[in-house]
Every structure is written in structure tokens, then in C-alpha cells.
Amino acid sequence: NAGVMQNPRHLVRRRGQEARLRCSPMKGHSHVYWYRQLPEEGLKFMVYLQKENIIDESGMPKERFSAEFPKEGPSILRIQQVVRGDSAAYFCASSSGLAGGSFEQYFGPGTRLTVT
């Protein structure tokens, strides 16, 4: 039973380019969370999605960032016109959600984005 998968593991983008980060949740999980972690900082919640729905995006910057979780395929976190300050580790986590009786989240290995 594969865990949460994220790709790419490392991504280098020049300022102004777009970054697309992908996350496939654990089998049987329909809830996905995205987090950002800066060096020496804690995890910051960005967005919470279920299939085809954004449930809470209160942690997402208003501009340049978007997320989706289509009916088929992985969840995508998209960052347009990247700036150096976007350099961070982006983690995705999945859970079965309240309907599944659990708040427990399982994390993917993360994508380390470097903006040059």
C-alpha cells in the first residue's frame, strides 16, 4: 500500500516561471492538505481539498498560488511567476477525513522548490 507520493522531489525554477507540484494521496484517502515549510520554521497550512472541492484555502497567498484536486489524478499546487521567497519545502498530507473517523494525516516526502 503506497504512501503519499509527491513529485518532483526537487524543483528549480527561475524567477517568473511557473512551478507545479503534484501529490497523490494514500489509497483510500480523499482529503489532501498542502503545507509550506521555510528553513528553521514550522509547518504552515496552505490549503485543504477534497476531490473537486477546495474546503479551506485560508493559508494560501491571495495571488499567484492555486490548488486543485480533480476527480481523476493527483492534487496540484501551482505557483505562478515564482519569486525567491517561494523557495521552501512543500509538503502534502492526506487523511481519510472525519467521515473516515480520523484526523490523522500522513505526509508525502515533500517537494523542495528552489527559485534562482
Partner 1 sequence: RKEVEQDPGPFNVPEGATVAFNCTYSNSASQSFFWYRQDCRKEPKLLMSVYSSGNEDGRFTAQLNRASQYISLLIRDSKLSDSATYLCVVYASGGSYIPTFGRGTSLIVHP
Interface characters, 20-59, with partner 1 (x: CB under 8 A): -----------x-x-x-----xxxxx--x------xx-xx
Nearer to partner 1, 50 or 66 (CB): 50
Q: In this structure, what are the phi and psi dihedrals at residue 39, rounded to the nearest 5 degrees?
A: -55, 135
Nearer to partner 1, 43 or 76 (CB): 43
Asked if 98 touches partner 1 (CB under 8 A), the answer is yes
The answer to whether residues 95 and 104 touch, using CB atoms and an 8 Å cutoff, is yes
CA pair distance 20, 8, nearest whole angstrom? 9
- Report if residue 5 touches partner 1, rule: CB under 8 A: no
Backbone region of residue 99 per phi and psi (left: phi > 0; alpha: psi in -120 to 50; beta: other values): alpha
Q: Are 67 and 77 in contact (CB under 8 A)?
A: yes
Q: Which residues, listed in sequence order, are joined to residue 12 by a DSSP beta bridge?
A: 114
Choose which of 91, 94, 96, 113 interacts with partner 1 (CB under 8 A).
91
CB closer to partner 1, 86 vs 105: 105
Does residue 110 bind partner 1 (CB under 8 A)?
Answer: yes
Give the Cα separation of 93 and 103 in Å (integer).
11
Rule CB under 8 A: which residues touch partner 1? Answer: 31, 33, 35, 41-45, 48, 55-56, 58-59, 89, 91, 97-98, 103-110
